[in-house]
Amino acid sequence: MSIVFKPIGLIHTPFQEPEGVPIQGALRPDLEGRVDIFSEFEEGLKDIEGFSHLILLYHFHLVKEHTLVARPFLDDTPRGIFAVRGPRRPNPIGMTVVRLIRRERNILHIRGVDMVNGTPLLDIKPYFPDIDAHSSVKLGWMGNKLKKTGKTTNADDRFLNE
């Protein structure tokens, strides 16, 4: 079976390489970027400006191979790739919730970016807090590491190498 995705646009950010990119956009909600939707998909943006947040699904285009076990950020214990948010996945698909600042025709101005400049965008979905945000969740190995850590929240060389 073969599955082929066609990008619907490109994500532009201040980051020219993976190192230094925030590990999650929510950790740097001030970082601005933009999404340039290809003109053939512009009509699909109708009514999007009514949403404050969007879910971006994109291709980790710089990842050349996958791994099934990786050392996640904020932890040095090797974990299964499906228990972490690392990019070196069998299907290198990323997901980030961003804040929509404004739309100018086929360009979306956003905040909370955590991807490399030129990242191919696969899809956009509106964020619905009543559906997408859950309470009483278990955080597995992650626990309260984000709250307790003194480590950086930016990517290092684990993005491409292990």
pLDDT value of position 132:
87
Summarised one tens digit per residue, pLDDT across range 91-140 is: 999 999 999 999 999 999 999 999 999 999 999 999 998 888 878 777 67
Q: Give the CATH superfamily of 9-159.
A: YaeB-like (2.40.30.70)
- Residue 158 — very low, low, confident or very high, per pLDDT cuts 50/70/90? low
Q: What is the pLDDT of residue 74?
A: 77
Q: Which residues pair with 102 in a beta bridge?
A: 109
The whole-number pLDDT of residue 99 equals 97
Q: What is the pLDDT of residues 5-55, one digit of tens each?
A: 999 999 999 999 988 888 888 878 899 999 999 999 999 999 999 999 999
- Domain locations along the chain: 9-159
> For residue 36, what pLDDT is reported?
98
- Rounded to two decimals, what is the model's pTM? 0.86
Residue-by-residue DSSP string for 67-132: -SEE--TT--S-EEGGGS--S--SS-EEEEEEEEEEEETTEEEEE---S-TTEEEEEEEE--HHHH
Alpha-carbon distance values, 128 to 9, 33, 38, 153 (Å): 22, 22, 25, 26
How sure is the predictor about 151, in pLDDT bands with cuts at 50, 70 and 90?
Answer: very low
CB 98 within 8 A of CB 28: no
Q: What is the mean pLDDT of residues 43-70?
A: 96
> What band does 86 get if pLDDT is binned at 50, 70 and 90?
confident
